[in-house]
Structure 1
Amino acid sequence: MVKDFVFPGSLIGLIVRRAEGSSQNRRHLGWRRRTRPLPESYNWWAEALHGISSDGVGTHFGPLAQGATSFANVILSAASFNQTLWKKMGQAVSTEGRALYNIGYSVLTFFSPNINVVRDPRWGGRIETAGPEDPKLVWPDYGVQFVRGLQDVEWVTEQDMVETFLRPFEMCVKEGDASSVMCSYNKINGVPSCVDTRLMKQTIRNEWNLHGYIVSDCDSLDAIYSYQHWLDFSPEEAVAAATRAGLDLDCGLFGTNYHKDHGVKAVAEGKLAEKDIDNSLRNLYMVLMRVGFFDNIPQYENLGVKDICTPENIELARESARQGIVLLKNERNTLPLASTKGNKKLKVAVVGPHAQATDVMRGNYAGPPCQITSPENGISRHVNVITRLGCDDFRCKSAHNISEAVEAANIADATIIVTGLDPYHIEGEEKDRDNLLLPGYQTHLIEQVAEASNGPVVLVIMSGGGVDISFAQNNPKIGAILWAGYPGQEGGHAIADVVFGRYNPGGRLPLTWYTNKYVNLLPITSMRLRPDTELGYPGRTYKFYDGPEILYPFGFGLSYTGFRYTIKNFLAAATAATIAMSSSHQKCKNVTYRADTFGFAPPKCQSVVVADSPCGETIKIDVQVTNTGTVDGTDVVLVYSKPPVEIDGAPLKQLAKYERVFVPAKSAKIVKFELNACEALGIVDSTAYVVLPAGKHMIQVGDGEKAVGFPVEIKF
């Protein structure tokens, strides 16, 4: 057993992510032996965010395998709201990673997925996270499914930590049995996260029962010493404090690694005990044993080059992009476009800085793809294409080439404008935005091309987050708008499939898209999710903001057909819409009610703490989804709960369940939901307890005009 291991002091080198050995040397270490000796070094850092990446030191590509399947960027995959797809992607990445390992090109441990929740629309890191605005979309869903397949200016309130920021990680560990959790560079309420004993040891290791290791984000330990100057720590004191707090592995960066460079000295100076190093090694070896590093796993031994970039995985990459693409506008049924005009192929102008995009579509943390198809190439499979970029690149700093794109649009039967952001220079890790506008002259390009076009105009936006394209939404010359995220190696094919009607889009926005005015209302450093009345800041995300600066709401997405919801029946416990729960064996807890609820009499037992409750009551709903159009389509049924309106600071609504369902034209399907009352109706109160409040809750199915719902009364 791992707990019985006795580690020699010389093994301190194994708890660094980059040591002298490399994955190429595995076969010289008795790699095919049933039992392997303790290795002198192991490269832990490899990335697999949406396919095997070339970032990190644990994976490389070469003559035997020059690339791996590059799936749609994570935020676009999240827009599919499809748990089955996420698990298939994780399985495909796992298979290709194991195959690369077998041919000597990779290690067995990967940092993936990223499940941080998006708080601010300017945050660059949102493009690599499956954590959109609602943690429900990532726990227990994206994170758990992918893991199973793969296997400082302002303080953060404890309420927001429990309700939003920690919840995806908690469920990924508890339900997905994740092997590793990464602490980041930032401080949490004044304490660097990688030396936060309460977070790493008490919460993650003990309360969540992590079976694996905790790793720092690369150079987080150096940040404690070099930039944060926390407690005036020396490098040795920083590595000792982090290890004692529960850190097992320093990712390091650019040749600097605190365990390797300062760990031995920290032990010699008495700042770090060998027993703490032993604990870290046990956690690391637990994972190496789990992935079969020491003992071959027979069912994986035959994986190799033939299992990388398979036709099935390439088609899955195309499907991952298609399912995530969101139709934002479709006036006068502009889409789908016909590929012919009379008996001739349609002549289509493909313009914009991303018309010939390839690398941009891969997003960040990507490796070399099996193949890659640009929008221009994908569209040209269907129609005759005239391509004029109109800009030198995505920055579009000059307007001197716009006239070429205008001329192309003027002579074409239809125009497709492909514009957007860039995952390497505009948004991404360490690249937050200061506005939500398109860069440079892109807006001018779109407006002038649309005005000159004599046929339908389709705008395709590539981005990780929202962009203020209200000018395009309000422009009658622009008939349709698609958000394509960063769609991966098959992005060009996927966009063409949607544009020409081979695929009916069913993606839904996992993030609210705001107008640019919204970001002028509050600083990016404001950490609160709820409105701050003292400072005049609005709330964040759909849960706490429903004001005028929303361009497209969370969950928004159109289709080439229409859908109607009908609630066929609902059962809440034994009675129709009332759940009577005994509070005799539970502790009642008061909640804070709004001051403007005149005439409201609070119940005697205002709420119960969920952790102290049996929580066996359920709400069963049958939703009939009717396709009212003449085209087969896929719909995402979103089920929300709304807390009693009298409670102060409660979410406007919160996602309880969702299901993606295919419905043929002119037919209907029943989608069954079973909601646990505590999970669906529970809220986090101002003291950071998860409580189930008494009173009249609402269950809402869908958004906007097609929303239907019913009340559920909770009584104790």
Structure 2
Amino acid sequence: MIRKESKKILKKLFRVNHFIVVSVILQLNTGCATKSETEYKFKNPELPIKERVDDLISHMTLSEKVSQMRYDAPAIERLGVPAYNWWNECLHGVARAGEATVFPQAIGMGSTWNAPLLFDVGTVISDEARAKHHGFIKENKRGIYQGLTFWTPNINIFRDPRWGRGQETYGEDPYLTSRMGVNFIKGLQGDDPKYLKVVATAKHFAVHSGPEKSRHEDNYHTSDRDLKETYLPAFEAAIKEANVQSVMCAYNRYRDEACCGSNLLLNDILRKEWGFDGYVVSDCWAINDFWEPNKHELVETPAEASALAVSRGTDLNCGDVYDPNLSDAVLKGLVDEDKVDQALSRLMEARFKLGMFDPEEMVSWSKISYDVVCSDKHYKLSEKTARESMVLLKNEDKLLPLKKDIKSIAVIGPNANAKQVLLGNYHGTPLNNITPLKAIQEKLPNTKVHYAKGSHIANGWPLLQPIPASALRNGDNIGLKGEYFDNKEWKGEPKVTRIDSVVDFIWVSEKPFENASSDSFSVRWTGKIVPEESGEYRIGLRASSAGKLFVNDSLRVDFKDDHEPKMRYLDMKLEVGKSYDVKIKYYNYHTDPQAQLVWSKLDEDLLSPAIEAAKNSEVVVLCLGLSPDIEGEEMPVVLDGFDKGDRSEISLPQSQITLLKEIHATGKPIVLVLMNGSALAINWADDNIPAILEAWYPGEFGGSAIADVLFGDYNPAGRLPVTFYKSVEDLPDFKSYDMTNRTYKYFKGEPLYPFGHGLSYTTFSYSKLEIPEEIKTDENIPVTVEITNTGDIKGDEVVQLYLSHDKKLDTDGPKHSLIGFERINLEAGETKKVSFSVTPKQYARITADGKQEIKSGSVQFHIGGKQPNSKNHETTQLMTKTIMINDK
């Protein structure tokens, strides 16, 4: 007790030298200065984790504690604590950590409506994550994207199609999102009774889905009903069912509190109501928004921001504000050191659960061989997932599937051969990039395939391709001189000097030069651009980490981005016969190095070759949609219809609409393939194009999945996880989080394609629906039904179960709500029985004050392959039955 009081007094007396004072006190109290590593209790794997964590923290100084609460935690060498970077990504495959199996974007996985499949996907991703992590450790690499704590899945509700990050979610429905999220998390975290496989992170908590450009300042309000019915269920399921170990708080405010400093969200709901015992991590640099001008401005200083965040329950800072400001906050009495200890305890418990302080041979997951990465087994699952994500929106006169014996086919569109469109955002680096064009060429070796881009992705946003060797010179050499350095500052003599015919590098399995470290190197390319045609050009540099582009000795592009590869560009007029000096200075300081010098002729006629290709073909496959280059997270993009990563219009870009109509005018049959991350208002196409396939951003095998569906090697059965609206005029204000007139539950208009919609090449019938006529309020409701494949070929059916309450009892409630689904496979003529057990929580209504309520009265059940009252779905049917609930 005396020592404890002395410690407090000394802290107050010697604040200026507090780091030294605290260190001395702790050494005196614990004797750590004389202990060997083996004497530390936290080193003993036989002891309970809580005891080990408490022991470790007891040996730390205040500054050491705070250092471990930033995402890039340094080593504490005197205690034998290695450095650890908490920032890792695996939204649809291990990201930014070298070669990896890349699955369809999350919205595509949501379209599978196959929750068990998401468990398998999570298992594969965590296998690769573990193999990579232990490979990095063997090379003594502990940097960003090399750890085991992954900031995924994104289980926010895709309430508005304008949100650029909606592609990262599983859709607009809380129940669908929760089932997909729970299975994915379980696959990631594993089932070992002692050790976590990886840590999953449910994000972004909570009430967060755009707009991107104002996320650092926005303050959202919802009714209690919307909060509990829409925005929280997926998070509750992640915690209570999947035992997710981490939650990431959001940038915005909710009910006047910053989400990363919200007593309501982080304490009352997350920990007290749900019993969450893991750790909370801030979104990146979100704590800075607490005090920075023109943002939340809740406090005046970084120390106050740190104190607020930690006192409310944000344990880990993605950013650097905690260190050293949190130490200052403790010494100023803004937050008690016990709060720091509590936060650090949660963090260290996660690291112990991952086995990071135990011998590798004790951790079962460490035995996963690196051979699993990009293995055939993993590739097959990625391709299976891509196939199951395909949603057939329309198939008039059964144009699909196409015959393989056609003599000629045109593959047209900006997305027909674009690799980036396969991947979406937050993606890994694949070894395969099978585009629709490539897959169709491989599937039809005896068919003449005519290819044309047809248009830019949007007016003002051309598709950039690597500048060819024919347009690059260095003296008498074709290409550019590349000087490669083993540091990131271009210092000293280059390790390698060579001529690179093009600058088009994604170094994955190969290093940029022999004995290079993929984590830290730099390259300087020099030479000249010699255009073969005059015109207006866009010249771009796509690079990981950082890049500078000089033209005629003038710095024209300069950017640093430590998150993922980005592209910056300049527009300029080039004249044939002239040469233009070019210099690129590129460096990389984490994995997945990438550098590309790209261009496009802005005034090039893309339309005429496309029309010619269509005229010379029997059928046209038109690949349109969006691109992760223009929809995504907080982007600098400002184009007509787009707004800093979000969209201001939900139609196709005008350049593609023009292409669509011109190709239609040729009179050739057209199959429209959409590749995008969010719903599109393709009204004209729906009226005029006979067959439409939604493919999303389908992963590295996406082109194969598309071709398999188009030519009948796979029968599509994906279902829309979002509503496709007809116009932005159908939508409420983007910043309003009120659910009125949003999503299938509350939308009052007629959608273009409804949530749950998706066609098949076969047909299904439903029969023998069995539900009790009456139940008591505390009873589960058994539901069984038989489904028969009434067509000629095998196929999957997605059985969807919806519930609607009596509108007399629930005037403001949803029209109906999804409460069950199952994807089944049926041979032609086969019948299967599907069963559901509906819990009281599922059939309860949410009252205005956010409470669950079950009253006597009738409820309706709707079961089939579609949503109640939906149109455009001729391949399946729906059955409805009303039952009585009795509270006596």
TM-score range, shorter chain: 0.7 to 0.9
1:145 and 2:177 correspond:
no
For residue 879 of structure 2, the aligned residue among 698, 708, 712 is 708
1:561 and 2:762 correspond:
yes
Counterpart position of 2:661: 447
| 1:277 match: secondary structure | helix
How far off its partner does 1:153 sit?
5.7
Equivalent position amino acid for 1:409 in 2: A
Counterpart position of 2:411: 350
Equivalent position amino acid for 1:527 in 2: Y
How far off its partner does 1:358 sit?
0.8
1:498 and 2:709 correspond:
yes
| 1:555 match: secondary structure | coil
Counterpart position of 1:42: 84
Counterpart position of 1:404: 609
CA distance in 1, matches of 2:441, 2:695: 18
How far off its partner does 1:429 sit?
4.8
The change in CA–CA distance for 1:14 and 1:523 in structure 2 (over 3 A counts) is same
Counterpart position of 1:359: 420
For residue 826 of structure 2, the aligned residue among 659, 663, 686 is 663
CA distance in 2, matches of 1:700, 1:187: 38
| 1:172 match: secondary structure | helix
1:526 and 2:739 correspond:
no
Q: Greater CA deviation, 619-628 or 550-559?
A: 619-628
Counterpart position of 1:186: 252
1:313 and 2:518 correspond:
no
Equivalent position amino acid for 1:391 in 2: S
1:516 and 2:727 correspond:
yes
1:329 and 2:492 correspond:
no
CA distance in 2, matches of 1:229, 1:679: 36
| 1:513 match: secondary structure | coil
Counterpart position of 2:339: 276
The answer to whether the 8 A contact 1:321-1:491 is kept is yes
1:689 and 2:851 correspond:
yes
| 1:565 match: secondary structure | strand
Counterpart position of 1:422: 627
The answer to whether the 8 A contact 1:178-1:211 is kept is no
The change in CA–CA distance for 1:320 and 1:394 in structure 2 (over 3 A counts) is farther
How far off its partner does 1:316 sit?
0.8
Structure 2, unpaired ranges of 5+: 1-47, 190-217, 462-602, 636-644
Equivalent position amino acid for 1:168 in 2: A
CA distance in 2, matches of 1:417, 1:453: 14
User: 1:282-321 maps to which residues of 2 (within 5 A)?
Assistant: 282-295=345-358, 296=360, 297-321=362-386
The change in CA–CA distance for 1:554 and 1:393 in structure 2 (over 3 A counts) is closer
How far off its partner does 1:450 sit?
2.0
CA distance in 2, matches of 1:83, 1:508: 13
CA distance in 2, matches of 1:175, 1:205: 15
CA distance in 1, matches of 2:682, 2:324: 49
Counterpart position of 1:461: 674
User: 1:154-169 maps to which residues of 2 (within 5 A)?
Assistant: 155-169=221-235
1:540 and 2:742 correspond:
yes
Equivalent position amino acid for 1:619 in 2: I
CA distance in 1, matches of 2:460, 2:680: 16
1:136 and 2:175 correspond:
yes
Counterpart position of 1:15: 69
| 2:85 match: secondary structure | coil
Deviation per CA, 1:468-501: give whole Å up to 9, x if none.
Answer: 10100100xx221000010011111111111111
Counterpart position of 2:836: 673
Equivalent position amino acid for 1:372 in 2: N
Q: Greater CA deviation, 658-667 or 204-213?
A: 204-213
The answer to whether the 8 A contact 1:102-1:304 is kept is no
Deviation per CA, 1:526-551: give whole Å up to 9, x if none.
Answer: 11102xxxxxxxx1111111413x10
Equivalent position amino acid for 2:618 in 1: D
Counterpart position of 2:321: 258
The answer to whether the 8 A contact 2:786-2:831 is kept is yes
| 2:308 match: secondary structure | helix
- Give the greater-gyration-radius structure (CA): 2
The answer to whether the 8 A contact 2:417-2:435 is kept is yes
CA distance in 1, matches of 2:288, 2:812: 38
The answer to whether the 8 A contact 1:2-1:282 is kept is no
Counterpart position of 1:245: 312
How far off its partner does 1:3 sit?
3.9
CA distance in 2, matches of 1:267, 1:411: 75
CA distance in 1, matches of 2:728, 2:95: 37
CA distance in 2, matches of 1:468, 1:389: 22
For residue 232 of structure 1, the aligned residue among 293, 296, 299 is 299
The change in CA–CA distance for 1:68 and 1:332 in structure 2 (over 3 A counts) is same
Q: Greater CA deviation, 352-361 or 387-396?
A: 387-396
Structure 1, unpaired ranges of 5+: 23-28, 30-35, 55-59, 62-66, 531-538, 582-614
How far off its partner does 1:425 sit?
1.6
CA distance in 2, matches of 1:333, 1:37: 69
CA distance in 1, matches of 2:739, 2:149: 34
The answer to whether the 8 A contact 1:391-1:399 is kept is no
CA distance in 2, matches of 1:441, 1:123: 21
CA distance in 2, matches of 1:241, 1:544: 37
How far off its partner does 1:2 sit?
4.4
1:89 and 2:121 correspond:
yes
CA distance in 1, matches of 2:86, 2:95: 14
The change in CA–CA distance for 1:92 and 1:238 in structure 2 (over 3 A counts) is same
CA distance in 2, matches of 1:41, 1:269: 28
The change in CA–CA distance for 1:570 and 1:38 in structure 2 (over 3 A counts) is farther
CA distance in 1, matches of 2:250, 2:851: 25
How far off its partner does 1:449 sit?
0.9
The answer to whether the 8 A contact 1:37-1:294 is kept is no
Q: Greater CA deviation, 210-219 or 229-238?
A: 229-238
How many residue pairs get aligned? The number is: 631
The change in CA–CA distance for 1:171 and 1:84 in structure 2 (over 3 A counts) is same
CA distance in 1, matches of 2:80, 2:395: 60
| 1:318 match: secondary structure | helix
CA distance in 1, matches of 2:718, 2:634: 25
CA distance in 2, matches of 1:679, 1:264: 45
With normalisation by structure 1, the TM-score equals 0.85
Deviation per CA, 1:353-403: give whole Å up to 9, x if none.
Answer: 001011121110112113211111011112232110112445576793112
CA distance in 1, matches of 2:409, 2:816: 43
1:371 and 2:371 correspond:
no
Q: Percent identity?
A: 35
The answer to whether the 8 A contact 1:329-1:558 is kept is yes
CA distance in 2, matches of 1:71, 1:150: 14
| 2:859 match: secondary structure | strand
How far off its partner does 1:466 sit?
0.6
CA distance in 1, matches of 2:633, 2:682: 20
Counterpart position of 1:645: 807
The answer to whether the 8 A contact 2:456-2:655 is kept is no
| 1:160 match: secondary structure | helix
Deviation per CA, 1:577-634: give whole Å up to 9, x if none.
Answer: 11244xxxxxxxxxxxxxxxxxxxxxxxxxxxxxxxxx3x122222111212111110
Equivalent position amino acid for 1:545 in 2: F
The change in CA–CA distance for 1:683 and 1:427 in structure 2 (over 3 A counts) is same
CA distance in 2, matches of 1:452, 1:663: 39
CA distance in 1, matches of 2:765, 2:748: 24
